[in-house]
Amino acid sequence: MISVFAFALAVLASARLTRLATKDSITEPLRVRIVAKANKEWVETLFSCPWCIGFWISAIVIGITWYYHPGWLMCTEAIFAGSFLVGLLSRGDA
């Protein structure tokens, strides 16, 4: 069983990773390369839709947290969760 704290951390980390995958400029070159190389419409949709890729990112992060949650993973999730919250507080958008 996963604790409420670990679940909340995983959810916030998933939100940050989803934003990285779909909107942040730092990952834009990688997104463009992936979409161009795949040359499939569904890949472009996946990387432009937070609902679409967010499902898969959340499934992976929460699944790993549920079954295998060592300290380093919780620390990494805390960094992503903190980054997400700081972004929300400083910019006012999600």
In a domain, 9, yes or no: yes
In a domain, 94, yes or no: no
Give how many domains the chain has, as a whole number. 1
Position 18 scores a pLDDT of 94
Q: Which two tokens stand for residue 4?
A: 């409420």
Position 93 scores a pLDDT of 55
- For residue 78, the enclosing domain spans 4-88
In a domain, 93, yes or no: no
Question: What's the predicted TM-score (pTM) here?
Answer: 0.82
Position 92 scores a pLDDT of 57
Position 20 scores a pLDDT of 93
Position 23 scores a pLDDT of 92
| Residue 81 CB-density burial (10 A; 0-12 exposed, 13-18 middle, 19+ buried) | buried
Q: Which residues does the chain have with pLDDT short of 50?
A: none
